[in-house]
Chain A
Amino acid sequence: MTESNILRIVKLVILIAIFSYLLDKLVFISLSGLSNQVFSGHKVGKLNHYLAAKDSMKVLIFGNSRANRHINTTLISEQTFNMGIDGKGLAFTSTLVKLLPIKKQQLVIVNIDPQQLFDKSYDGNDIMHLAHKYHHITTIATSIDHSGWRNPLHSFYWSLDYNNKPLSIIKHYFLPEYNYKKFTGYEPIVLNKTQMQTRIEKLTHTTPCDTLLKLNPLAMYYLKEIVSFCKKNNKELLVINSPYYQDACKDDNILMTRILKDLNVSFWDYGNYFGKKSTPDFWQDKEHLSQRGANLFSKGLSKKLKSVYNF
């Protein structure tokens, strides 16, 4: 290759790097500005809402869709916020818990499905859902750095932290889905006609139990992080397992009970909450309650919470 060609290539590569870097920062700043004003939607808005509300709340609920869709906060207390988000695991939850104010007394309820602790495929990638706050909140940055999910490209192109979020930000900025001031994080499942028609098929579909249960070390690490933070910072921690439609696999429940007992953490297992009283009307599928089922469960949970805890 001739020297002039080498120079041309070097020039091209450097200019692409400079221009793309500058455009990236411009877009990042614009998106940050917009996203900070978004308070609806799971991708960005709910986290902003949580950050704004967390310090004033007495009860905080964390977990995946089974926390989000099952626990009606209004039945517990006015100062309760449900920060459950679909598909999120313990890495995400642990980082959110660590954002709570230190020393303020709060009740932290974490919904953990027993299989989450034994899920071989769990890799902690759910933490990247918080990536857009990497450059804004140190606790999030530390957790993400520790997770190892951030590659060198993220340091150069900050917009990567907004991956797959811009359209949602723009949508919720101009058309908020709800009035967040009246929203407490609980999002019940209201079934449409088709979902009602296909419900029976979903409820009868069976999946085999995992017979070789092996603790996922990453899930365990994040669970211990939650426990440690709560113990040090005046938080009462309660782990629950919300209801399933006929939970046939019990080994993971037994093991999880033992693990939490060893960690000295309260665990309320509602896996078989409805028992024989369960009807398809309470359910969307085997893992998710319908609005009706969620309200019934929340009433029961609330009653027990009020009898055990002071808030």
Chain B
Amino acid sequence: MLFNSLEYIIFLPLVFVVYWCLFTKLKHQNILLLVASYIFYGWWDWRFLFLIIFSSLVDYLIGLKIFHTQQQTKRQKWLIASLVSNLGILSLFKYFNFFSSSLQDMLLLLGWQVDTITLNLILPIGISFYTFQTLSYTIDIYRGNLQPSKNIISFFLYVSFFPQLVAGPIERGTNLLPQINAPRIFKYELFKAGLFQIFIGLVRKMVIADSLGVYVDSVYGYPEAQNSTTVLVATIFYAFQIYFDFAGYSDIAIGSAKLLGFHFNQNFNLPYFSQSITEFWRRWHISLSFWLRDYLYISLGGNRKGITITYRNLMLTMLLGGLWHGSSWNFVIWGGIHGIALIFERFLLNTRDKKFGWVGCLYTFLIVLVAWVFFRAKDLKSALFILNKLFEMNFALNFNNYLNLIIKLSFFLTLGVSFDFFLFKKKIPLENIGKDFSLIKLIGWITLLILMLTLFYSNSENFIYFQF
């Protein structure tokens, strides 16, 4: 089920009413949410429910085993079992063909022609997200930061809670499990904030991101016919398309959770106002970047083992972070560009706490923009072709009959960026903005947002991050 579908417009209010009005006991509320979450997921393909149930069961049992085992080596073995099980499933569905074809290419370079196996598997939606979520659970228990869930329903709900199931935010057990296990009280302020955030998310996704996508698809779909101007405009539009798409998704997820009395952590904090790549990664897809920091970078040794190892760890984290997005060398290169920028900043400029104002914003945006070319292009060859087009410096004012569309999209973009600029200047997180609204102000805002949706929504099959 998609957040921007008619089904969800019926599903969410229905769950809301039954959850708050018909079920008063925590246990019943959690069962209802679990069933609702499985319906939400099964709406896409019910067969993959078995996978998520299997994954939940394995980590539930391993979590208990790690906690109750005293011997360190045995605890380690259970943790490895969790890693192998989770990453094994993820690798099978997501990376098998990639590694298989990469191995084939490598052997071919060495002069050996071999036929490798490829599997024709559908990538289960949300697998990358819930795998990271369950991994963080077992690692936290291993590290002693979390007690395992004693209630199997609570744990299964933690893994599959529908607002965050298919594309995050990747919630930690330390944040979500206590909320699942504690009685929830309806708060009107939280409801207002959630409702407002849902509508902001819908506009960001359906009006801004999906509209931008129309132009981006036309340019990236046929780069041969483009000049530097059209490629540059399309890449800038893509930078905002992916931001408004994913931030919009996160807003709907966080907002939906609020309606049910849950607090999710912020996932996007105005990333294009960052003054360095380091800051960018504190503002972009926060739940993933902090996951990578806490469970990968720190596990590799972080910055505790000298400069060279820190370089290596930064680069490895970003490369694997890139690979997490998809089984393609494009994502690895995307991660690599960010890795190089992080290393550059950390050890040559020592920018950890320095601010560079708008020059920093411009520098960050340019690096991010070049990296997005690899993220969006369909393969490495296309990405290099597009970059070549961009650096041809053929900035002719020729928009291939798309000038009207570009003007329209610039209007939407201005609206979206102006709202973000307002939040940035006022230093108000979007997560809190609706809760202090008066009744009239909230009605006014939502009415306007509904009007924007009716007049300007654009059709799109999916959220970009669903494919990851």
Complex-state Cα separation, A109 to B129, whole angstroms: 54
Q: Which residues 10-42 in B have Cβ within 8 Å of A in the complex?
A: 20-21
Residues of chain B within 8 A (CB-CB) of A2 are: 186
Instruction: Map CB proximity to B onto A141-158 as digits: 1 under 8 Å, 0 otherwise.
Output: 000000000010100010
- Closest CB in chain B relative to A177 CB, distance in Å: 10
A262 within 8 Å of B (CB atoms): no
A9 within 8 Å of B (CB atoms): yes
Residues of chain B within 8 A (CB-CB) of A5 are: 186, 188
- The interface stretch among A191-199, A208-216, A266-274 is A191-199
A176 within 8 Å of B (CB atoms): no
Complex-state Cα separation, A162 to B192, whole angstroms: 29
Q: Which residues 36-84 in A have Cβ within 8 Å of B in the complex?
A: none
Which one of B227, B396, B456 has the highest number of Cβ atoms from chain A below 10 Å of its Cβ?
B456
Establish whether residues A160 and B227, one from each chain, have CB atoms under 8 Å apart when the complex forms: no
A308 within 8 Å of B (CB atoms): no
CB within 8 Å for A16 and B447 given contacts A5-B188, A9-B191, A24-B454: yes
Complex-state Cα separation, A12 to B188, whole angstroms: 11
Q: Which residues 178-202 in A have Cβ within 8 Å of B in the complex?
A: 192-195, 198, 201-202
- The interface stretch among A97-105, A163-171, A252-260 is A163-171
Complex-state Cα separation, A6 to B411, whole angstroms: 39
Residues of chain B within 8 A (CB-CB) of A192 are: 398, 400
Binding site of B, secondary structure by majority: helix, strand, loop or mixed?
helix
Which one of A1, A27, A202 has the highest number of Cβ atoms from chain B below 10 Å of its Cβ?
A1
Complex-state Cα separation, A198 to B9, whole angstroms: 45
Complex-state Cα separation, A18 to B210, whole angstroms: 28
Establish whether residues A198 and B451, one from each chain, have CB atoms under 8 Å apart when the complex forms: no
Instruction: Map CB proximity to A onto B217-250 as digits: 1 under 8 Å, 0 otherwise.
Output: 0000000110100000000000000000000000
CB within 8 Å for A153 and B6 given contacts A9-B191, A12-B439, A194-B400: yes
Q: Which residues 1-47 in A have Cβ within 8 Å of B in the complex?
A: 1-2, 5-6, 8-9, 11-12, 15-16, 19-20, 23-24, 27
Residues of chain A within 8 A (CB-CB) of B324 are: none
Establish whether residues B398 and A159, one from each chain, have CB atoms under 8 Å apart when the complex forms: no
Establish whether residues A16 and B446, one from each chain, have CB atoms under 8 Å apart when the complex forms: yes
Establish whether residues A15 and B439, one from each chain, have CB atoms under 8 Å apart when the complex forms: yes
Partner of A20, one of B9, B446, B455, B457: B446
Complex-state Cα separation, A309 to B119, whole angstroms: 59
Partner of B21, one of A6, A157, A162: A6
Establish whether residues A163 and B446, one from each chain, have CB atoms under 8 Å apart when the complex forms: no
Establish whether residues A163 and B447, one from each chain, have CB atoms under 8 Å apart when the complex forms: no
Establish whether residues B447 and A198, one from each chain, have CB atoms under 8 Å apart when the complex forms: no
Complex-state Cα separation, A201 to B225, whole angstroms: 9
Which one of A8, A164, A166, A171 has the highest number of Cβ atoms from chain B below 10 Å of its Cβ?
A164
Residues of chain B within 8 A (CB-CB) of A193 are: 398
- Closest CB in chain B relative to A5 CB, distance in Å: 6
Give the nearest-CB partner of B444 in chain A.
A19
CB within 8 Å for A8 and B457 given contacts A24-B451, A194-B396, A201-B224: no
Residues of A participating in the B interface, judged by any CB pair closer than 8 Å: 1-2, 5-6, 8-9, 11-12, 15-16, 19-20, 23-24, 27, 151, 153, 157, 159-160, 162-164, 166-168, 171, 192-195, 198, 201-202
Given A5-B188, A157-B454, A164-B458, 19 more A-B residue pairs with CB atoms under 8 Å apart are: A9-B191, A11-B439, A12-B439, A12-B442, A19-B447, A20-B446, A20-B451, A27-B455, A159-B455, A162-B454, A164-B456, A164-B457, A167-B408, A168-B404, A192-B400, A194-B396, A194-B398, A198-B224, A201-B224
Residues of B participating in the A interface, judged by any CB pair closer than 8 Å: 6, 9, 20-21, 186, 188, 191-192, 195, 224-225, 227, 396, 398, 400, 404, 408, 411, 439, 442-444, 446-448, 450-451, 454-458
A-B contact pairs, 12 of them (CB 8 A): A9-B188, A12-B192, A24-B451, A159-B451, A162-B455, A163-B454, A164-B455, A166-B456, A193-B398, A195-B400, A201-B225, A202-B225
